[in-house]
Amino acid sequence: FEARFNIPHLTDIFHDALPIPSTFCLKMRTPTEDFADGYPSDEKWHGYINNNDRVLLKVIRYSSPTSAGAECIDPDCTWVEQWVHRAGPRERIYFKPEEVKAAIVTCGGLCPGLNDVIRQIVITLEIYGVKKIVGIPFGYRGFSEEGLSEMPLSRKVVQNVHLSGGSLLGVSRGGPNVSDIVDSMEARGINMLFVLGGNGTHAGANAIHNECRKRQLRVAVVGVPKTIDNDILLMDKTFGFDTAVEEAQRAINSAYIEAHSAYRGIGIVKLMGRSSGFIAMHASLASGQIDICLIPEVHFNLHGPHGVLSHLKYLLETKGSAVVCVAEGAGQDFLQKTNAKDASGNIVFGDIGVHLQHETKKYFKEIGIPADVKYIDPTYMIRAVRANASDGILCTVLGQNAVHGAFAGYSGITVGICNTHYVYLPIPEVISYPRVVDPNSRMWHRCLTSTRQPDFI
Ligand code: ATP
Ligand code: MG
C-alpha cells in the first residue's frame, strides 16, 4: 500500500531531504530501508506495528455526486483510496533508551487533557527505559527565559496529574526564535522533544525539526495536537474537544433556565471556535436547547427581515423564550477591527457575544417589546476543567503513540486519530489551514434540523 503522505524519518537527515509530496500516493521510505535493523525493542508491547501498516483516510463511497454530503469531498480525491501511516510500537527502534534525553513542552492556551498526555508520555518513556525526562516550563519560553529551569519528570511526579485540569508544566505564548530553541536543546542534550500545542506550536515544532535536520542532529520532534476547537485537518477529533462540548452543556442549560424562567427571556452563550464552529455545532446538537447556532463558517445577518434579531422576535412571540449559541469567531465582520495581536502574533478577536447581547437589547428597546437578555461566556471555565473519560482515553493513546513515533525514528510528525485508528501525519499537512465545518455537511444540516433556524440572509 502506498501512503498519502511521506512522513519524515531521522535517517533522512543524512540524505537529501525527501520532498514533501504534493500529490498523494507517493511511496514512503520506511525507516528500515535506511537504518538497517535499528535496535531491538526490549519491551514487547503486546505486539508490534509494521512500518508498512496503513489506515484508510476516508471510508465512505458515494454512489452519486448527488448523495447528501458528497459535495464535501474533494472532487479530485472522491474515488481514490488514501492511506496514511499507522501509529504504534515498532519492533526495531531508532534510539537506545539509555541515550535518550526527552523533553516535553506545552504551549498556547489551556485545553482539557494536557496533563493526561504529559503523564502518558512520561510513563511510556519509562517503560522504554528512558531515565532522563524533563518538562520545559511555560511553553517555548522555558527554553530561553532566565530563572525557568527544566522540571525533572518521572512516573512518581506525574502519577495523579490527570486528576486536575491545566498543565503541570505551564503554558505561554510568544518566546524565543527557533534557532535559540535548538541551541538550548543542544546545550541540554535533548534528543527527543514532545510538543503539545495548536497550529502555532506545531509550526514551531516543524521549524525546530527542520533546524535540527539542517544541523544534522539526531533529534526526534513529535507533536500532539492540542486544539479544543477540533480544527486540525484529517483527524476525527482532537483531545479536549469532547470535554469542551460536555462542559458547554452546563452553560447552555443555565442560559436555557434563565431564558425560560424570565418573562420574554433570551439566553446567549459564547463558545470557543476561532475559525471553526465544531464546539458550537456539537454543543447545540447535544443540548437540544439551542434555537440559533452561529458559527464562523456560515454568514448571517443580524438586522433586516431575515436577520437573527427578527427571528428572535418571532421566537419570543411563539415560544416565549430563546437560546442562542455563538462561536467566538462568528460574525467578526460586524465588529471593529483592532489589529491587536497576542504574544504569538494571533489577531485578537472582537467579542461577538458582547456585541450580540448589546444589539439584541438595543433592537428590542427600539421596537418597544420587552426582552430580558442574559449573556454567559464560559470559555475559561471550560478550558480549565480536567478531561472527561473519552478524552482521557484519547490522551492516553496519543501520548503512548507520540513516544512510539519518536522511538521509531520519525520526526516532524504529529499523532492523530483517523477513522478510529491512530496514525502519524507530517506536521505541514495538518496545519496548512484550519479544518472547518462544511456548511454542506450532514452534521451542519442535522444541527439546522435540531435548531429549526432559517438562513439569516
Ligand atoms: P492555541 O490553539 O491555544 O492558540 P497555539 O499553539 O496555536 O495554541 P500560539 O500562541 O499561536 O498557540 O503559539 C504557541 C507557540 O508557538 C508560541 O510560543 C509561538 O511563539 C510559537 N509559534 C507560533 N507560530 C509560530 C511559527 N510560525 N513558527 C515558529 N513558532 C511559532
Ligand atoms: Mg492557535
If you average pLDDT over every residue of the chain, what do you get? 91
CA 205 / ligand 2 centre spacing (Å): 13
Hey, which of 107, 349, 430 would you mutate to test ligand 1's pocket, going by the most ligand atoms within 8 Å of its Cβ? 107
Query: How much of the chain, in percent, has pLDDT values that exceed 90?
Result: 78
Q: Which three cell numbers stand for residue 70?
A: 458528497
Q: Average the pLDDT over 2-17 and give the result.
A: 71
Query: How much of the chain, in percent, has pLDDT values that exceed 70?
Result: 92
Q: Per-residue pLDDT for 52 more than 90?
A: no
Give the confidence band of 31 by pLDDT, cuts at 50, 70, 90: very low
Q: Per-residue pLDDT for 27 more than 50?
A: no
449 contacts: CB under 8 Å, gap ≥ 6: none
Q: Which three cell numbers stand for residue 271?
A: 463558545
Give the per-residue pLDDT at 57: 82
Give the confidence band of 72 by pLDDT, cuts at 50, 70, 90: low
Q: What is the pLDDT of residues 197-236, one digit of tens each?
A: 999 999 999 999 999 999 999 999 999 999 999 999 989 9
CA 62 / ligand 2 centre spacing (Å): 34
Q: Per-residue pLDDT for 14 more than 80?
A: no
Q: Distance (Å, rounded) from C-alpha 394 to C-alpha 380? A: 22
Give the per-residue pLDDT at 16: 46
Start-to-end C-alpha separation, the chain:
47
Give the per-residue pLDDT at 229: 94
Tell me how far CA of residue 9 lies from CA of 227, 355, 408, in angstroms: 25, 49, 8
Q: Per-residue pLDDT for 29 more than 60?
A: no
Hey, which of 201, 274, 347 would you mutate to test ligand 1's pocket, going by the most ligand atoms within 8 Å of its Cβ? 201
List phi, psi (to 5°) of 254: -65, -45
Q: Per-residue pLDDT for 239 more than 70?
A: yes
CA 400 / ligand 1 centre spacing (Å): 24
Residue in 60, 451, 94 with CA at minimum distance from that of residue 287: 451
Q: Distance (Å, rounded) from C-alpha 414 to C-alpha 25? A: 19
229 included as an active-site residue: yes
Q: Per-residue pLDDT for 161 more than 70?
A: yes
Ligand 1 lined by 201 (C-beta under 6 Å):
yes
Give the per-residue pLDDT at 20: 35
List phi, psi (to 5°) of 352: -65, -30
The C-alpha angle 69, 72, 78, rounded to 5 degrees, equals 100
Residue in 128, 122, 120, 116 with CA at minimum distance from that of residue 154: 122
Q: Between residues 444 and 65, which one has the greater pLDDT?
A: 444
Ligand 1 lined by 114 (C-beta under 6 Å):
no
Ligand 1 lined by 112 (C-beta under 6 Å):
no
Q: Which amino acid is at 186?
A: E
Q: What is the pLDDT of residues 420-442, one digit of tens each?
A: 999 999 999 899 999 999 999 99
The answer to whether 119 and 393 are in contact (CB under 8 A) is no
Q: Average the pLDDT over 70-77 and give the result.
A: 62
Q: Which of 83-87, 108-112, 367-371 has the lowest mean pLDDT?
A: 83-87
Q: What interface predicted TM-score (ipTM) does this complex get?
A: 0.98
3-state secondary structure the chain: CCECCCCCEHHHHHCCCCCCCCCCCECCCCHHHHCCCCEECCCCCCCCCCCCCEEECCCCCCCCCCCCCHHHCCCCCCCCCCEEEECCCCCEECCCHHHCEEEEEECCCCCCCHHHHHHHHHHHHHHHCCCEEEEECCHHHHHCCCCCCCEECCHHHHCCHHHCCCCCCCCCCCCCCHHHHHHHHHHHCCCEEEEEECHHHHHHHHHHHHHHHHCCCCCEEEEEECCCCCCCCCCCCCCCHHHHHHHHHHHHHHHHHHHHHCCCEEEEEEECCCCCCHHHHHHHHHHCCCCEEECCCCCCCCCCCCCHHHHHHHHHHHCCCEEEEEECCCCHHHCCCCCCECCCCCECCCCHHHHHHHHHHHHHHHCCCCCEEEEECCHHHHHCCCCCHHHHHHHHHHHHHHHHHHHHCECCEEEEEECCEEEEEEHHHHHCCCCCCCCCCHHHHHHHHHHCCCCCC
Nearest atom in ligand 1 to the alpha carbon of residue 342 is: 10
Q: Which amino acid is at 147?
A: G
Ligand 1 lined by 166 (C-beta under 6 Å):
no
Q: Average the pLDDT over 70-89 and give the result.
A: 72
Q: Distance (Å, rounded) from C-alpha 107 to C-alpha 140? A: 7
41 contacts: CB under 8 Å, gap ≥ 6: 48, 89, 90, 91, 92, 93, 128, 407
List phi, psi (to 5°) of 9: -115, 150
Give the confidence band of 337 by pLDDT, cuts at 50, 70, 90: confident
Q: Per-residue pLDDT for 23 more than 60?
A: no
Hey, which of 138, 173, 239 would you mutate to test ligand 1's pocket, going by the most ligand atoms within 8 Å of its Cβ? 173
Q: Per-residue pLDDT for 35 more than 60?
A: no
Q: Distance (Å, rounded) from C-alpha 356 to C-alpha 367? A: 16
Q: Per-residue pLDDT for 32 more than 60?
A: no
Q: Which three cell numbers stand for residue 18?
A: 525527501
Length of the chain: 457
Q: Average the pLDDT over 379-402 and give the result.
A: 98
Given the residues 229, 231, 291, 391, select the one marked as catalytic: 229
